[in-house]
Structure 1
Amino acid sequence: MDLLLSSIELIARWDVMAALFIGSIGGVLVGALPGVGAAVAIAIVLPVTFSLEPIVGLTALLGIYGSSMFGGAIPAILVNTPGTPVNALTTYDGFPMTQRGEARRALSLAYSASFFGALFSIAALMLLAPVLASIAPMFGSREIFLAAFLGILMVIITHRGQVLAAGILAFLGIFIQTIGIEGTAYTQRYTFDLPILQSGVNLIVVVLGLFAISQALILFMDKDKQTTFPKVEKVGFFEQMRDLWIYRRIATVGSSFGVICGMIPGVGEFMSQFMSYAYAQRTSKTPELFGKGNPEGIVASEAANNSVPAAAMIPLLALGIPGEELTAMMLAVFYVHNVIPGPQLFSGQMDFVLALYICLLLLNVIVVVFLFFATTTLMRAMAIPNRFLGMMILTFSLIGIYSLRNSLADVATASAFGVFGFILKRLDYPTSPIILGIVLGKLMEDKLRTATARVHSFWEFIDRPIAFILFSLIVIALGVQAWTVWKDWTAKKENENA
């Protein structure tokens, strides 16, 4: 009870509550604006959070992260344009329901499934993170290196059809983090005697360039769309809960997929919602209606993708290993304030951890209540011209970059990464492997350096149970990927010979 009261006291402050409201409602707004998304918003807000207390900064980021997909379902259902990429599957059945005049029910299904998925994953976070943290002391340098390597590998493998590109970009991220003065022997690496490179490449500069500036450039290039929104009545709470109860099995299974995929580095929302959608279609009594306005499809998609954010916090809080680019950005906030995720966080600052849990619960309640009254207002916000939106993103991004170290060199570096990110997005290549390569690459280098000082052979490196299990998973993942490549290659040869 004392721990709970201490946690409540930690968040029962005007600045924490303000951060929670601004982050939650702002996350819904940026999710509802096609072309923005949580990654861009978090990248812009991130420099501001460094000057705030950890609980305040993380609450704001959690609000954006946890609420953006709620907002992303609105344009996906009403105008067949997903607000965030992970709401793409919602368009399959949401927009056909809107065309049938069932926009209100489609939104009700999306809101209720998202709310259920979020609460389900928060419960999983509260149950599983302490368990993983209790096992974490068994993780030495070699285990953490192997876990981080497995995370990089999963990030690469899950980009099906773009494995080579994702691998190159991940290793580019690993290379970028090596630039600067090396911390052990204090030698310069890849600085080319340039003073601006001696301190390395700042993660936040890269994040703002790859996500925010590149997206601003894309919005400058895109034409404004004249969109007609259907009339939607206010969606009631009890109507949402009634629809959720009808499809409770789909919501529960979809949320379970989201939790599992959220815990695995590099997997995330896309894999979870495709697995959930496929399960719903296979077990449905009317599978032929999927893609034509089946309510089960909306529930499966939204429950799965909204259960990922809290689940992705499990390896972050317990091991300090981010699963995707958004949790990697949050990890930067932890480190800036000298709050180190892992077992020591649970043993020494459990009130802080419990406060984060409470904030996650509150933000979902805030979002659902807000959506009861604000759906029509959000529809008006979706009509903001692309170029105006792009100019706002670019302005805030450049201000945030310069405020980090009052450095024009950082602005130039971020601009270069912005152009690079723009090219990648135009070519439909992923940018997240670069960020995870930078974050996990630094972790891998430090732990490998420590581990190799104590072992003298490869077998000694994996002779402990957890190390051997992680190594086995790496071998299995590589084997599955090799088999997939071979299968695709033989199928291609057969088609050519046919």
Structure 2
Amino acid sequence: MELILSAIEILMRWDVALALLTGSVGGVLIGAIPGVGPAVAIAILLPATFSMDPIVGLTVLLGIYGSSMYGGSIPAILINTPGTAVNALTTYDGYPMTTRGEPRRALSLAYSASFFGGIFSVICLILFAPVLAKIAPMFGSREIFLAALLGIILVIVAHRGQSLIAGALACFGIFLNTIGLEPVKYTSRYTFDQPFLSSGVNLIVVVLGLFAISQAFVLLTSDDERVRLTKLRGGMFQGLRELARHPRVAGVAASFGVVMGMIPGVGEFTAQFMSYTYAQKSSKRPQDFGHGSSEGLIAAETANNAVPAAAMVPLLALGIPGEALTAMMLSVFYVHNVVPGPGLFQNDMDFVVALYLALLILNVLVLAFLLFATKSLIQVVRIPNRFLGVCILTLSFVGVYSLRNSATDCLLAAVFGVVGYILKRLSLPSVPIILGMVLGGIMEVKLRAGMARVKEPFDFIDRPVAFILFLIIIIVLTVHILRVLKDRKELKEAEWQTKRSSTRFGVLMSRRRNSFLKDRGRTVRARHSKLLRRLTDLI
């Protein structure tokens, strides 16, 4: 009880309360604008949060992270365009409801499901906090190294069909982290005698380039679309009552979100599709899914909003981010010399609980704001793409320059912006680069510390937690390799069946063509002989 009271005291500060309100409302606005998303907003705000207290800066970023998915459902439902990438599944059942004249019901149901998912995950994690506090001290240098390695592997494996390029991009991120002076003997690595590379490649510069500047390029090169919005009539409280009629779907979807959020590299997409698939298979009306099913909308929105709080577990307990957004938040910890990991749970447990309570309050604020302000909020969908692109580009370069007052950083950010733009156009992931930079630094430091007591290779996994993590890595790699081999076998079989059917079709068509030509030849010869007989009779 004393821990909760101490956390509430932290949140009662005026600057923390203002940051929470700003982050929650700002996140909804950002999520409601198609083409922006939380990653762009957090990247732009990162330099500003470095001058704030850790709790204030993290509260702003958490507010944007947690509330953007609420806002992202607005354009997904009204104009079939997801505000954020994770709201893509919302369009499956949300937009069909709009087309049949039920936009208010769809929005209300999405808000209610998101609220339930967010509250469910925060309550679970507050209850599990004592357990995490006991487990965290079991992780030493070797365990954290293996956990970081597992995080990178899971990120690579999660990009099914693109695992090779995801691995290459993760290695590129690890390489970027090695540029500059190494942390022990301060020898230069890959600087090529260039003074500006001695300090390394700044993570924030890469983040702003890959996410913010690249997205600005995308918006500047795209055409503005005329958006027609459906008028909303009536109240927005209908969804709360309808959600109560589907407790099983909401509970299972929220559970998927919590479990998937705690696994690095998995995140919202896996949680959404697993919960959506479960809801469809267990529904009494599976044919309605994709055509305006309330159960499908609940499954999608509950799962994706249960992830943000759960994604903070590996970040706070081990200092290992599971995705790009939590990797950005990790930099706020480092700037203020607050090291996430076992020590944070042992020494600053009130700080951890304050963050979870902030997420709890955030969901209440966002739901209240949306229930009363949606009719005015939907107008942000009309903002032109090119105007957004110019604003994002300007704010990005201002943020980069404010880091170290360096024009070189602006140039590097522009280069990574072009790289990010190319990756977006080729539909390739940019998240592995960021996680490679963050986790690569953690792996290097922990490997150096862990190897001091290792004499033989098996000494590295001689402790229970390290051995379990090693087994998980082996299992994940084995399953992935088997899945790749299975996919290749199925692809070859499909190609062979296609070739076989095309060959059969060709033979069949050839026979039909020959038969047609023979019949046609007989017809022509018959006509000629008939014509000759008539000419003979005339003569």
Pair 1:364-2:363 in alignment: yes
Quote how far apart the aligned CAs of 1:14 are: 2.1
Residues 1:71 and 1:457: Cα distance change in structure 2 (over 3 Å): same
Q: Distance in 2 between matches of 1:431 and 1:343?
A: 29
**Residue of structure 2 equivalent to 1:69:** 69
**Residue of structure 2 equivalent to 1:417:** 416
| Paired residue type of 1:84 | T
| Paired residue type of 1:469 | I
Counting only pairs closer than 5 Å after superposition, residues 11-22 of structure 1 correspond to structure 2 as 11-22=11-22
Contact 1:234 1:375 in 2 (8 A): no
Pair 1:248-2:247 in alignment: yes
**Residue of structure 2 equivalent to 1:355:** 354
Contact 1:173 1:441 in 2 (8 A): yes
Pair 1:111-2:111 in alignment: yes
Quote how far apart the aligned CAs of 1:342 are: 2.1
Count of aligned positions: 497
**Aligned partner of residue 307 in structure 1, secondary structure:** helix
1:272-314 residue CA offsets vs partner (Å, 9 max, x unmatched): 0000000000000011111111111100000000000000011
1:134-161 residue CA offsets vs partner (Å, 9 max, x unmatched): 1121111111111100000000001111
Contact 2:108 2:371 in 1 (8 A): no
Mean Cα displacement is larger for which, 434-443 or 136-145? 136-145
Q: Distance in 2 between matches of 1:325 and 1:234?
A: 39
Q: Percent identity?
A: 65
Q: Distance in 2 between matches of 1:489 and 1:279?
A: 27
**Residue of structure 1 equivalent to 2:469:** 470
Quote how far apart the aligned CAs of 1:227 are: 1.0
Contact 2:104 2:236 in 1 (8 A): no
Larger radius of gyration: 2
**Residue of structure 2 equivalent to 1:259:** 258
**Residue of structure 2 equivalent to 1:135:** 135
Contact 2:209 2:420 in 1 (8 A): yes
Quote how far apart the aligned CAs of 1:338 are: 1.1
**Residue of structure 2 equivalent to 1:28:** 28
Contact 1:129 1:318 in 2 (8 A): no
Contact 1:258 1:304 in 2 (8 A): yes
Quote how far apart the aligned CAs of 1:6 are: 2.7
Contact 1:27 1:38 in 2 (8 A): yes
Residues 1:290 and 1:107: Cα distance change in structure 2 (over 3 Å): same
| Paired residue type of 1:317 | L
**Aligned partner of residue 144 in structure 2, secondary structure:** helix
**Residue of structure 2 equivalent to 1:381:** 380
**Residue of structure 2 equivalent to 1:200:** 200
Q: Distance in 1 between matches of 2:432 and 2:373?
A: 35
**Aligned partner of residue 382 in structure 1, secondary structure:** helix
Normalization by structure 2: what TM-score?
0.91
1:211-259 residue CA offsets vs partner (Å, 9 max, x unmatched): 000000000011111010111125433x232111011111110010000
Counting only pairs closer than 5 Å after superposition, residues 67-466 of structure 1 correspond to structure 2 as 67-237=67-237, 239-466=238-465
| Paired residue type of 1:85 | A
Mean Cα displacement is larger for which, 335-344 or 397-406? 335-344
Quote how far apart the aligned CAs of 1:378 are: 1.9
Contact 1:234 1:373 in 2 (8 A): no
Contact 2:136 2:342 in 1 (8 A): yes
**Aligned partner of residue 52 in structure 1, secondary structure:** coil
Q: Distance in 2 between matches of 1:255 and 1:432?
A: 24
Q: Distance in 2 between matches of 1:233 and 1:343?
A: 51
Q: Distance in 1 between matches of 2:106 and 2:316?
A: 35
Quote how far apart the aligned CAs of 1:326 are: 0.6
Q: Distance in 2 between matches of 1:160 and 1:496?
A: 20
Counting only pairs closer than 5 Å after superposition, residues 481-492 of structure 1 correspond to structure 2 as 481-492=480-491
Q: Distance in 2 between matches of 1:167 and 1:235?
A: 49
Residues 1:213 and 1:235: Cα distance change in structure 2 (over 3 Å): farther
Contact 2:24 2:365 in 1 (8 A): yes
Q: Distance in 2 between matches of 1:129 and 1:50?
A: 27
Q: Distance in 2 between matches of 1:356 and 1:161?
A: 36
Contact 1:125 1:313 in 2 (8 A): no
Q: Distance in 1 between matches of 2:4 and 2:492?
A: 62
Quote how far apart the aligned CAs of 1:130 are: 3.5
Contact 1:133 1:319 in 2 (8 A): no
| Paired residue type of 1:101 | G
Pair 1:8-2:27 in alignment: no
Contact 1:129 1:314 in 2 (8 A): no
| Paired residue type of 1:436 | L
| Paired residue type of 2:462 | D
Quote how far apart the aligned CAs of 1:351 are: 2.2
Q: Distance in 2 between matches of 1:349 and 1:476?
A: 35
| Paired residue type of 1:81 | T
Q: Distance in 2 between matches of 1:471 and 1:192?
A: 37
Q: Distance in 1 between matches of 2:462 and 2:102?
A: 59
**Residue of structure 1 equivalent to 2:42:** 42
1:341-373 residue CA offsets vs partner (Å, 9 max, x unmatched): 223222322222222122111111110011012
Quote how far apart the aligned CAs of 1:433 are: 0.6
CA root-mean-square deviation: 1.1
Contact 2:137 2:343 in 1 (8 A): no
Residues 1:2 and 1:496: Cα distance change in structure 2 (over 3 Å): closer
Q: Distance in 1 between matches of 2:89 and 2:250?
A: 15
| Paired residue type of 2:198 | Q
| Paired residue type of 2:473 | I
